[in-house]
Structure 1
Amino acid sequence: MQERELTEESEPTTVVVIGAGPAGLTVANLLRRCGIDCIVLERRSREYVAQRQRAGIVESRAVRMFESWGLADQVLGGPPHDGILEFRVDGESHLVDDSDGSAGPGARLCPQQVLVQKLTTVHLADGGDLRYEVADVSLHDLTGDRPTVRYRSTDGTLHAITCDFIAGCDGDHGVTRTAVPDGVLTAHALDHGIGWLTVLADAPPPAHPLLAISPHGFAAHFPRGPHSSRYYLQCPPDDHPDAWPDHRVWDALRTRLADPALTAGPITDRESFRLRSLVHDPMQYGRLFLVGDAAHIVSPMGGKGMNLALYDADLFARAVRDHIRDHDDTGLRSYSQRCLRRVWNDQEFSHWLTRTVHDAGDDTASGAFLRNLALARLDRLFTSPTVAQAFAELMTGLEPPQHRPVPTGR
């Protein structure tokens, strides 16, 4: 220990942000807007992080959040989402307007890698401190007044950063959540028992984001750029991508999307995964605040994962700003409670939509009774303006009514 103290380079800052994905870079940019210094640590290279492809839609609420900080024009690439979502049930098309009709800008078609690249550019141009390829990150004295983050840089130098707060934005498998002592956090987990194959291809995008339901299984087709598409195919939970050669992928997509003329293209990426949901409660411990996937994982259905991370980042940055500028700790004390309220709201919506589109199709697992219940839910969505309005509000990320009790799960 004495040797480490003698060779360690020490420096202070206000906030250490661990992770340079959408959550971490949003936190860093918002803090810089407030004049609050921070250091961002990322274990991967800049090139790796910039090319990591995930979510594709920034919901209306998040677009308006970036606008409120004066960042929307700088960080949101891609065209506006036209507000139309297509459900194709047994080959029959149903168009649903998923804009909530409220004033202000709508959702944007902005793939994660585009958002990350732009957030990185803006942060560095603003003088931000962003350090890639750090190793051996460890967190210390989280319940003290000045916690410390230690890491090793690429040249082998040991560093120690003392700070006021730590933002854990390093995902489900990062180091920040594991730094919380056992028994402090309660993990609420759900395995949906569903597998997806996700495929990225250089192929024409659909006119509208498309969810297809049929006895052959669920499929989806989403735009990821002017000449790129992301596809999803329901598969057994433990399927391996090697079980899906190109010809099988395109045959399944043409069948499930009810589009025999679907244009194929070079497949640039494919992977399979189990649909799962996870919530950790609380989302803070001492001066460590968990942001995004470090605190919660949501099924991809409904596009809530990245948008929840952006919501967390906004609340955290405002809480730190209020603490420093106004000596007001209300936001810090209520951070976990406020975040979890939206998390459970979005988890419920994602679960509802996940069960509906899967139960309404292949009833091998769900059975005919649940299939008909799911089809009834879809029928209401397609025919009832009231149900369609509620669906649109949930899709766009409208704030849940404030008078409802906050679920804690404790």
Structure 2
Amino acid sequence: MRTTRTQVGIIGAGPAGLLLSHILHLQGIESVVLERHSRDDVEAIIKAGVLEQGTIDLMNEIGAGERMMKEGFRHEGIILRFDGRDERIDFPSLTGGKSVMIYAQHDVIKDLIKVRLDSGGDIRFEAKDVSVYDLDTAQPKIRYRDKSGVVEEITCDFIAGCDGTQGICRPSIPAGALKVHERLYPFGWFGILCKAPPSSDELIYAMHERGFVLVSTRSPDIQRMYFQCSPTEKVENWSDDRIWAEFRARLATQDGWVPQEGPIFSKTVIGMRSLVVEPMRYGRLFLAGDSAHVVPPTGAKGLNLAATDAQILARALTAYFKSNRSDLLYQYSETALRRIWKATRFSWWMTSMLHTFPGTDEFQNRLQLSELNYVTSSRAGAMALAENYVGLPIE
């Protein structure tokens, strides 16, 4: 068995792990990133992305934003569609000039991997049988088997668990040390990718009695759209014709608007839940990203929360290594969770306002319409939505 040492061992080459590694590198702090998948597989995982203003700024600050700025779509608002009409929320006028960027998560991953490797970063793909131990000591360890089958042990000062909901870090924490808060939603999203021009210049969030619809975009000739469905829905039950008929019905407006249609080349069903783990630390293991929290995609917060976790944790680790301060490490979980719960609330609120729940009656429907009317007719209501959507500040 080979033994090596690093300052920060990072498990998971997702947004949280890669951002954390590169921010630390820029501060002169060494890290090793372990990822169980190959580079090709990691970069091929297709995920949509709406980047908050803070995430856009971070990508540029760390030298990873060049392609994003060229190929991403800057959106200065969203459209709320209900009662057959559109109401626009204008972000810059409500948030002091902030906006969002439509840029797929897998493209963010590609950019971060490239900037890490170009700067000499240590990313070890196809790391198998990863385990962590001695977490409550001053020298936590990671053990894994590399591509050639050699077992290696890495002694660290700290370990960052950025390996998502199916990773090994959170389950490695002793039973009873964490509290898990979870809310399962009684519906999912049926998502498609199609070859067609954009249906709208900005995202459309549509509330309809048949269920919610999101009209998004991917590129000038590939579009991404979703409609609310049962979480157990089978994609094979939906022909292209049936899908487009459903979109037309739910997106109908008084002025006769229709979506741009084209060949559908991807169909998937996404389950929806909210999950928050407290605390986000055990000993010298710190959780970040999806290993600590999951939000429904309605609020567009998943990737952005991972980026925030990375920044808060990097700030704490930098204070420790450069100034021998431990206070920010002790405060990491509390600081991160304050923003996570606000994003969880916003995602729940957007989801509750726009989706049709099983057993919904006319009273509930009128409440939802009233909420939408308030948000779109009150500057205070619109500002609350806008400032959450473009991203709340990091404490």
TM-score range, shorter chain: over 0.9
Residue aligning to 1:351: 348
Pair 1:17–1:104, CA change in 2 (3 A): farther
Question: Do 1:111 and 1:224's aligned partners in 2 also have CA atoms closer than 8 Å?
Answer: yes
Q: Which moved more, 1:174-183 or 1:56-65?
A: 56-65
**Is the alpha carbon distance of 1:17 and 1:260 closer, same or farther for their aligned partners in structure 2, counting shifts above 3 Å?**
same
Q: Do the aligned partners of residues 99 and 105 (structure 1) sit closer, same or farther apart at CA in structure 2, a change above 3 Å counting?
A: closer
Alignment of 1:5-404 (within 5 A): 8-69=1-62, 71-73=64-66, 78-99=71-92, 101-102=94-95, 106-205=99-198, 206-258=200-252, 261-359=258-356, 365-399=359-393
> Which residue does the alignment assign to 1:5?
none
How far did 1:330 drift? 1.8
Provide TM-score, normalisation by structure 1: 0.91
Tell me how far apart the structure 2 counterparts of residues 116 and 211 of structure 1 sit (CA, whole Å).
Answer: 26
| Counterpart Cα distance in 2 of 1:364 and 1:282 | 33
- Structure 1: runs of 5 or more not aligned: 1-7, 403-410
Q: CA deviation at 1:245?
A: 2.4
- Structure 2 runs not aligned, ≥5 long: none
The Cα of 1:207 is off from its aligned counterpart by 1.2
Shift of 1:94: 1.3
State the distance in 1 between where 2:364 and 2:258 align.
32
TM-score norm. by structure 2 comes to: 0.94
1:122-147 CA distance string (max 9 Å, x none): 00000001111111000010011111
Residue 73 of structure 1: CA displacement?
Answer: 3.6
Cα distance in 2 for residues equivalent to 1:336 and 1:77: 35
Task: Give distance in 2, aligned partners of 1:299 and 1:393.
Answer: 18
Q: What letter matches 2:362 in structure 1?
A: A
Shift of the alpha carbon at 1:269? 2.2
CA distance in structure 2 between the partners assigned to 1:76 and 1:143 by the alignment: 42
For 2:346, give the aligned amino acid. F
Percent identical among aligned pairs is 37
Relative to 1, partners in 2 of residues 1:68 and 1:262: Cα closer, same or farther, differing over 3 Å?
Answer: closer
**What do the CA deviations read for 1:357-407 (whole angstroms, capped 9, x no partner)?**
014xxx76221111111111100111111111111111111238x7xxxxx
- The separation in 2 between residues aligned to 1:391 and 1:105, in whole angstroms, is 13
Q: Work out whether residues 168 and 177 of structure 1, in 8 Å CA contact, stay in contact via their aligned partners in 2.
A: yes
Q: RMSD between aligned alpha carbons? A: 1.9
Q: From the superposition, tell whether residues 213 and 307 of structure 1 become closer, same or farther in structure 2 (CA, over 3 Å).
A: same
Moved more, 193-202 or 281-290: 193-202
